[in-house]
Amino acid sequence: MNGPQVTLAVKQFTTAHRLILSGSPLQNNLKELWSLFDFIYPGKLGTLPVFMQQFSIPITMGGYSNANRSVVATAHKCATVLRDTINPYLLRRLKSDVKSHINLPSKNEQVLFCRLTEEQRSLYKSYIESGEVKNILDGRFKVFMGLIALRKICNHPDLFDGGPKHFGNSDLANLEPEEEFGYWKRSGKLIVVESLLKLWRKQGHKVLLFTQSRKMLTVLQVS
């Protein structure tokens, strides 16, 4: 059975209550949100065509960089109505709830500013002067596309331009470290991470490193 068939099948069950456990109750895709909610409370958000017309399309239009004030205001109003409609049926686990059941030390958050390496600076400058950024500023491309590109450059230049193509090639095992993919000294962030890890190791700390992409995990692994 495919996805639509499964959805139709489970909606046929006669039950006193219906529950959905989701890590993202407010989905990035509003059509997916409607599908989940229509399972637990059929008809509450109307039919899919009506939901798309009254909520999804106006909210999406308001998120575009070239949206005017009227469109943005309409999107905000629709999002507010949608939020107020579904909120009574959502049970959210808050960080304060978790903290009351487990013994964790107080959070100490420190924000570190890392200088770009010369290679990163060059890539950064070239990108913000590129045609892609011009299209973003003119509203033809989404801002998110540009933010992803800039984040890659700031994390490590190899994430943006692909870096050395010979990473993992056994025939080139005698390459200098700086010629390998993900070499840590070519990233301002990794230079800072390297110095922190040395310090924390001397102090006997345990460390967890989080990234927002698997490619960055690969860079950390080879650094």
H or E element: which one contains 195? helix 188-202
Q: How far apart are CA 206 and CA 223, in angstroms?
A: 18
Per-residue pLDDT at 173 exceeds 60: no
Angle of helix 143-155 relative to helix 188-202, nearest 10 degrees?
A: 50
Least confident of 45-59, 73-87, 98-112, 147-161: 98-112
The residue written with tokens 């909120």 in the block is: 87
What integer pLDDT is reported at residue 161 of this predicted model?
82
- Mean of per-residue pLDDT scores for the chain: 84
Task: Please determine, for residue 170, whether its predicted confidence score (pLDDT) is greater than 50.
Answer: no
**Per-residue pLDDT reduced to its tens digit, 178-214:** 777 888 999 999 999 999 999 999 999 888 888 888 8
Q: Which of 58, 64, 8, 59 is nearest to 38 (CA)?
A: 8
pLDDT at 27 over 90: no
* 4 CB-near residues (< 8 Å, 6+ apart): none
Judged against a pLDDT cut of 50, whether residue 31 lies above it is answered with yes
Phi, psi dihedrals of residue 160, rounded to the nearest 5°: -90, -50
pLDDT above 80 for 88: yes
